[in-house]
Structure 1
Amino acid sequence: MSQGDDGFDPMSDEAREIGERAATDPDDFLSLLPHFYRGEVSQMNAAQDRIDRTTDWAIALMGAILSVVFSSPDMPAYLLLVGLVALCTFLAFEVRRYRFYDLWRSRVRLMQEDIFANAFDPLGPEHDDWRVEMSDDLRHPTFKVSVLEALSRRIRRVYGLLLTVVGIAWVCKVTLFTPEADWQEAAELPGISGPVIAGALALFFAGVVVLAYWPADRRAKGEIHGVRPGEWKDEDDDDEELE
């Protein structure tokens, strides 16, 4: 069995049990913890950056399509439908990226709740078996949110507004910005009448609203949505600072 220059054998029983020793020795565990925490935060930040880049591309695409469609009265309204399809594609990418982001965030939040919060104010850990939960998740990583929940969150946070802007732009294009033609003619596609297209869009946006506000328990960990804002200072201190 090969060994290093210092005689350390990485395949020895002693080396194999290094993790177990760190778990039972508080000093070893506390030395290991900051490195693990920084690594998880780095993974979380990288996942957040991927989400932001997808959103940036979606906004840029929407802006480009709106600029082209409204640059001339001759531009067809169906280009906005192409934009809707493209936005839905970006949304599908972002849903998957959000689920990975929530995986890393759930680990970070677990450590913040059960270690760092307790270090600042020792009230006891939020979860008595948090180490077991973390260990199980490291051995068998799993998504913490479903596709449906991730889809709902991204629609409520970003894509609901983007899709609404494109939908309103389509209505304006086939009515206000195409005065020489009836809206039904401006909205139609080859083989599909304008009212059918309008009805399909109405059903689409109704589905978007349902997905955004579907009534179910949320499992995303560490979300601040819907939580009342906290206070760091007394109101008197805030008034003095404003003066």
Structure 2
Amino acid sequence: MDGSAKTRRKLDAAEMGVVAHLYRGEVYRSTIWRTRLDTTTNWSVVTLGVALSITYSSPQASPLPLVLVGILIIFFLMLEARRYRYFNVWRARCRWLELHFMAPILKEGNLHLEEQWQDRLAEDYLHPAYHVSMWTAIGRRIRRNYFWILLIQTVAYMGKLVVHPTPLESTGQLLERAAIGPLPGWLVLLVGAVYCISWGIIAYVSEQQDAARARLKSDPLGMG
């Protein structure tokens, strides 16, 4: 190598066919992982529905299932965020091929290999890595789905305390109903508030970071 810039020859018919099959494979993988995201969301909805059914089955039923289901929702959210990081890899590759391979063929018939977009894709295959952090993935999943799940859980829990077994008459009565065993009601409500606010902050910060990253993105070959 003399250090001079390399000129990439044009893809022949066989290579074009390989890239087309590669695109099909990436679409398949992104579809599979998208289905896995839906699965964990469905698990969260179903478990929340079971907790709602138990809690509102009678006026004397305990609101505790709505508290305990929050542990499962957190577990499903963590699992879904991890799956989202995998999904984002396949989705980014599909989008990359659509942007630099499919679109140029349809529009100009020229793949513009001199722009070296193929090198970035090859590097992603040689050294695969996540394109987003775990916190970013958590924030995105909260904004897409889990905000509504957490909102329903919170409203249902507070509604149970307010209306059952009789309509609420005082703040002291609210704290009494919120108590869980030796844990005082004010502590339970405080933990619940921190629980909701924490997820809200994560979602908000993640959204601001995504927006800032989009505004400051200077690498035309940036992937993900």
TM-score by length of 2: 0.82
The partner residue of 1:155 within 121, 142, 149 is 142
Structure showing greater Rg: 1
What is the CA distance between 1:169 and its match in structure 2?
Answer: 0.7
- Evaluate the alpha carbon distance shift between residue 35 and residue 195 of structure 1 in structure 2; reply closer, same or farther with a 3 A threshold: same
Match of 2:126 among 139, 154, 172: 139
Residues 1:112 and 2:103 aligned together: no
Q: Say whether 1:167 aligns with 2:154.
A: yes
User: CA 1:59–1:218 in 2, change beyond 3 Å: closer, same or farther?
Assistant: same
Structure 2 equivalent of residue 70 of structure 1: 56
Matches within 5 A, 1:197-236: 197-214=188-205, 215-217=208-210
1:23-62 equivalences in 2 (<5 Å):
25-62=11-48
Q: Matched residue pairs, number?
A: 199
8 A Cα contact 1:184 1:193, kept in partner: yes
1:92 partner amino acid: M
- The CA distance in 1 between the partners of 2:211 and 2:104, in whole Å, is 25
Report deviation, 1:82.
0.6
State the alpha-carbon separation in 2 of the partners of residues 143 and 119 from structure 1.
Answer: 29
Structure 2 equivalent of residue 4 of structure 1: none
Change (3 A) 1:127 1:108: farther
Query: For residues 126 and 86 of structure 1, do their structure 2 counterparts lie closer, same or farther at Cα, with a shift above 3 Å needed?
Result: farther
- SS of 2:181's partner is coil
SS in 1 for 2:35: helix
How far apart, CA to CA, are the structure 1 residues paired with 2:20 and 2:47?
41
Give 1:94's aligned amino acid: E
- Opposite residue 29 of structure 1, the aligned amino acid is E
Over 3 Å counting, the alpha-carbon distance change for 1:119 and 1:108 in structure 2 is: same
- The corresponding residue for 1:85 is 71
Higher helix share: 2
The letter for the 1-side match of 2:43 is W
Q: Secondary structure at the match of 2:209?
A: coil
Residue 219 and residue 48 in structure 1: after superposition, are their counterparts in 2 closer, same or farther (change >3 A)?
farther
1:127, CA displacement in angstroms?
Answer: 9.6
Please tell me the residue identity of whatever aligns with 1:130: W
Moved more, 28-37 or 155-164: 28-37
Deviation at 1:62, TM superposition (A): 0.8
Instruction: Specify the SS of the correspondent of 1:210.
Output: helix
* Aligned-residue identity in percent: 27
- The partner residue of 2:166 within 164, 168, 179 is 179
Query: What is the CA RMSD across the aligned residues, in angstroms?
Result: 2.4
Equivalent position of 1:224 in the other structure: none
Letter in 1 for 2:147: G
> What is the deviation of 1:128?
2.2
Supply the AA of the counterpart residue of 2:195: F
Say if 1:113 and 1:125, in contact at 8 Å, map to a contact too: no
Q: Is the contact between residue 145 and residue 220 of structure 1 (CA under 8 Å) also seen in structure 2? A: no
1:192 matched to 2:183: yes
SS at match of 1:216: helix
Q: CA deviation at 1:126?
A: 11
Q: Gapped runs of 5+ residues in structure 2?
A: 1-8, 215-224
Between the aligned partners of 2:116 and 2:18, the Cα distance in structure 1 is: 19
Contact 1:188 1:197 (8 Å CA) reproduced: yes
Counterpart amino acid of residue 91 in structure 1? L
Per the alignment, in what secondary structure is the counterpart of residue 213 of structure 1? helix
Deviation digits for residues 42-61 of structure 1, max 9, x if unmatched?
11111011111111111111
